[in-house]
């Protein structure tokens, strides 16, 4: 049961909201926390009972480790090591064991076999959340919370399966605040607005583009240059709309309940450098790696070369976090090299009007070349599009094949076949129109549809993001009508939804 399902919208969410606010209205605060925890557990249970058991074991072990620190604080260092190892081993077993065995076999010529292991949805998110807690707990930066509050923090369903990676304090402090549990019309309206916008991003745009994207990356060896470009652009917008759409829905549901999740997206495609992009894309993952990997490794305090190495380590780990494969590692390494390039200070982007250039560089006090922001935006976007070939390709051979077809011009006309995977209800009217004229223009309609959807997605990237829209919403009749149309359109489109991309991470 995802956010983009009839069951969630028509059954789960109404029961959740009515029960939550009714129990808090009666001042049954502990019961309300238990209700929200159970509803979150049920939400996760719908993806598989075995997944739920793994999640419960993870919670129990981490909470017991916290309890040991409370009673024997002198063991905090060893408990921190045990806690981190336990969580990483859990993640390794379910996510990386197959990848590890495949590489051992490739290097040694052995024929080791591992049984097929089904990875629990969202394991990377709830594991990293618990690592942050156990490390902070051992460093005396977190208290030993009551079990119910800790369990609620871990299983809180808006963030459970696809992030953001919220730190314990920023959520549990809100759970403690009884004032936030009162029904608030303004919060509810903002939350509903955010949910509708996110739902529209997902089911109207991202899911439509996914047809062409999936087909294109499956047919890598048959694509032509034009089709490769179209598929790369379609995927670049699909992954943004899919992930940010989920975050919008998660933020929306959380706001309806009275709580705020940390911002995970802030218009990343408006970035003018790779470094800025990573201050806007998957922001909670970036801050996790900065706090728990980059700074412990020495950050920028141990010399220029060490700084470069630390940055590359963080980005390789970020790539590996997203998936068990060399394609993800290459993607992370490419992003790390781009960030290091920004840090060198050879080329910099002009600051925004009215703002001073405050960046510090590794080898130069001032950049050797300053380029306009518009050029920086274009180059940053271009490099991110190229890097996503690694991110989406099935393996390195497919990624290399994609690049060959991108940089060595071919045109056998595969665009029509790829675009035909956008056979959606909205195409019915133009297809019937041409049919009545005695014309078979299906291919043209499909290609035009693909171009229109890519253009609409690109346009959205240049506008205000959902957070900005929600914060400044005036709820005029025009806006309410627009939201109603978006919701009805999205709701009708739910029958063709696909799973969220980040479920696999």
Evaluate whether residue 136 is within a structural domain: yes
Q: Beta strands 369-371 and 347-349: pairing type? A: parallel
- Sequence-distant (6+) residues with CB within 8 A of 498 are 207, 210
- Residue reference for tokens 């390794």: 92
pLDDT score recorded for residue 503? 55
Are the C-beta atoms of residues 139 and 79 closer than 8 Å to each other?
A: no
- The answer, yes or no, to whether the previous bond of 164 is cis (omega within 30 of 0) is yes
- Would you state the pLDDT for residue 294? 94
Whether 322 is catalytic? yes
* Distance between CA atoms of residues 186 and 174, nearest Å: 17
- Which residues share a beta bridge with 263? none
Q: pLDDT per residue over 159-210, tens digit each?
A: 998 889 999 999 999 999 999 999 999 999 999 999 999 999 999 999 999 9
Distance CA 138, CA 140 (A): 5
DSSP structure class, residue 260? -
What's the number of domains the chain is made of?
A: 1
Find the angle CA(276)-CA(281)-CA(282) to the nearest 5 degrees: 135
User: Rounded distance, CA 438 to CA 485, Å?
Assistant: 33
First to last CA, the chain: 17
Q: Between the CA of residue 398 and those of 74, 318, 390, 501, what are the distances in Å?
A: 52, 21, 9, 19
Q: Are 83 and 134 in contact (CB under 8 A)?
A: yes
pLDDT of 314? 95
Q: Is residue 381 part of a domain?
A: no
In this structure, is residue 379 part of a structural domain?
no
Residues of the chain with pLDDT under 70: 354, 356-359, 412, 425-429, 431-442, 495-505
Question: Given this model, what pLDDT does residue 360 score?
Answer: 73
Tokens 């070349």 found at: 369
- Of 168, 282, 322, 398, the catalytic one is 322
Measured CA angle at 127 (ends 121, 132), to 5 deg: 150
Q: Are 57 and 80 in contact (CB under 8 A)?
A: no
Q: 485 phi and psi, to 5 degrees?
A: -65, -45
202 lies in some domain: no
The range of the structural domain enclosing residue 105 comes to: 6-109+116-183
309 domain-assigned: no
In a domain, 278, yes or no: no
């Amino acid at each position: 049961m995802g956010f983009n399902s009839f069951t969630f919208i028509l059954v789960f969410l109404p029961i959740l909201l009515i029960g939550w606010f009714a129990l808090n209205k009666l001042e049954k605060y502990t019961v309300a926390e238990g209700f929200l925890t159970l509803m979150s557990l049920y939400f996760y249970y719908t993806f598989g009972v075995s997944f739920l058991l793994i999640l419960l074991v993870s919670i129990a072990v981490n909470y017991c480790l916290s309890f040991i620190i409370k009673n024997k604080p002198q063991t905090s260092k060893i408990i921190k090591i045990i806690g981190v190892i336990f969580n990483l081993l859990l993640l390794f077993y379910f996510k990386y064991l197959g990848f590890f065995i495949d590489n051992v076999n490739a290097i040694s010529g052995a024929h080791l076999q591992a049984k097929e292991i089904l990875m629990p949805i969202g394991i990377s998110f709830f594991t990293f959340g618990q690592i942050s807690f156990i490390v902070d707990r051992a460093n005396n930066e977190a208290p030993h919370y009551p079990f119910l509050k800790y369990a609620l923090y871990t299983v809180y369903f808006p963030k459970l399966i696809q992030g953001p990676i919220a730190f314990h304090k920023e959520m549990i402090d809100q759970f403690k605040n009884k004032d936030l549990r009162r029904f608030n019309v303004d919060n509810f309206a903002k939350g509903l607005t955010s949910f509708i916008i996110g739902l529209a991003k997902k089911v109207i745009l991202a899911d439509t583009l996914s047809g062409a994207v999936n087909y294109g990356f499956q047919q890598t060896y048959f694509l032509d240059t034009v089709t490769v470009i179209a598929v790369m652009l379609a995927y670049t917008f699909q992954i943004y709309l899919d992930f940010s759409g989920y975050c919008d829905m998660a933020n929306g549901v959380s706001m309806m309940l009275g709580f705020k999740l940390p911002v995970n997206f802030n218009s990343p495609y408006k970035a003018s450098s790779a470094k800025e992009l990573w201050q806007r894309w998957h922001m909670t993952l970036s801050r996790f790696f900065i706090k728990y990997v980059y700074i412990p490794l020495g950050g920028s305090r141990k010399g220029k070369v060490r700084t470069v190495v630390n940055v590359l380590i963080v980005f390789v780990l970020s790539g590996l976090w997203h998936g068990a494969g060399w394609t993800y590692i290459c993607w992370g390494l490419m992003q790390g090299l781009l960030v290091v390039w920004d840090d060198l200070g050879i080329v910099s982007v002009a600051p925004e009007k009215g703002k001073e250039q405050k960046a510090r560089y590794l080898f130069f006090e001032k950049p050797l070349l300053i380029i306009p922001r518009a050029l920086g935006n274009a180059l940053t976007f271009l490099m991110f599009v190229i890097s996503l070939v690694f991110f989406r390709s099935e393996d390195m051979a497919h990624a290399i094949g994609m690049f060959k077809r991108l940089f060595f011009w071919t045109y056998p006309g595969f665009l029509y076949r790829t675009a035909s995977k956008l056979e959606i209800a909205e195409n019915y009217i133009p297809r019937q129109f041409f049919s009545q004229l005695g014309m078979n223009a299906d291919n043209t309609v499909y290609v035009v549809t693909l171009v229109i959807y890519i253009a609409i997605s690109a346009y959205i990237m240049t506008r205000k993001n959902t957070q900005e829209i929600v914060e400044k919403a005036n709820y005029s009749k025009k806006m309410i009508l627009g939201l109603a149309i978006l919701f009805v359109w999205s709701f009708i489109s739910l029958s063709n939804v696909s799973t969220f991309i980040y479920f696999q991470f």
